[in-house]
């Protein structure tokens, strides 16, 4: 049997390849975004604001920066996650459209490739992501080191990484747009244990950054 993988494009984070087999990757990126930084460059819907990092997604990734997408698997069905939908509405909101549309995209692109080990199906994927978010509180972890939302205070980019490393015992990844901290990611093994992230292209900030409050 010959498996053909279709290359569909590149990003700063590496090669994206469509298809492939679920579970064929090296580790997970658990990605959260800061609303006020994200919405500085996007047209966000009113009423989504909250002073906390929110989930972007749980993404299978490879050590070389490549990652699989759109694997074959269970189609998205919001009824499958009805028991945790109220939590998802709060901690995994779409900032630009209906929440279920965002979840469907994340499942189709990333979740379908994530099914391995403790993750057996769609519900497991979303339930595990909620659990990770609740267990490793990025907003609270930064606050422990007085890195707080502010339109005026600045923090050195290394101090943000250092604060989270001290709080959780692993090295995370961060991304900025200009001087705004936009994204923080933890890395997890395929059995969902925290690990230090490898260096990946496109994941860096330099100089002083802000965590805007508006």
Q: What CATH code is carried by the domain that includes residue 34? A: 3.90.730.10
Please count the structural domains in the chain: 1
Q: Which of 56, 80, 85, 105 is catalytic?
A: 56
Residue 12, pLDDT above cutoff 90: no
User: pLDDT for 26-83, tens place per residue?
Assistant: 999 999 999 999 998 888 988 777 889 999 999 999 999 999 999 999 999 999 999 9
CB of 155 within 8 A of CB of 208?
A: yes
Residue 214, in any domain of the structure: no
Percent of the residues in the chain that have a pLDDT greater than 90, as a whole number: 83
Confidence of residue 14 (pLDDT cuts 50, 70, 90): low
Look at residue 172 and tell me whether its pLDDT is greater than 70: yes
Annotation says 56 is catalytic: yes
How distant, in Å, are the alpha carbons of 58, 102, 182 from that of 140?
20, 25, 16
- Which entry of 18, 32, 106, 123 is annotated as an active-site residue? 106
Is pLDDT of 162 > 90?
Answer: yes
Q: Per the domain annotation, does 156 fall within a domain? A: yes
Catalytic position from the list 85, 110, 123, 131? 110
Query: According to the model, what pLDDT value does residue 64 have?
Result: 93
Active site residue 110: yes
Confidence of residue 181 (pLDDT cuts 50, 70, 90): very high
* Domain assignment of residue 194, given as a range: 6-209
32 is catalytic: no
State the Cα–Cα distance between residues 92 and 89, nearest whole angstrom.
6
Helix ranges, 29-180 (H): 35-38, 85-91, 99-109, 122-135, 138-143, 157-168
> Does residue 1 form part of some domain?
no
Residue 10's pLDDT band (cuts 50, 70, 90): very low
């Amino acid at each position: 049997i010959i498996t053909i993988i279709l290359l569909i494009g590149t990003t700063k984070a590496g090669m994206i390849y469509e298809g492939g087999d679920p579970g064929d990757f090296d580790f997970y990126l658990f990605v959260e975004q800061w609303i006020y930084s994200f919405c500085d460059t996007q047209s966000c819907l009113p009423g989504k604001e909250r002073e906390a990092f929110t989930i972007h997604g749980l993404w299978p990734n490879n050590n070389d920066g490549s990652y699989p997408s759109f694997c074959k698997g269970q189609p998205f069905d919001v009824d499958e996650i009805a028991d945790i939908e109220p939590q998802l509405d709060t901690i995994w909101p779409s900032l630009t459209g209906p929440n279920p549309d965002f979840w469907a995209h994340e499942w189709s692109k990333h979740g379908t490739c994530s099914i391995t080990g403790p993750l057996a199906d769609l519900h497991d994927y979303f339930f595990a992501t909620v659990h990770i978010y609740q267990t490793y509180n990025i907003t609270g972890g930064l606050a422990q080191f007085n890195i707080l939302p502010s339109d005026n205070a600045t923090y050195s980019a290394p101090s943000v990484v250092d604060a989270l490393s001290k709080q959780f015992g692993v090295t995370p990844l961060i991304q900025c747009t200009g001087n705004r901290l936009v994204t923080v990611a933890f890395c997890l093994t395929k059995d969902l244990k925290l690990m230090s992230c490898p260096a990946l292209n496109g994941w860096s900030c330099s100089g002083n950054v802000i965590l805007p409050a508006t």
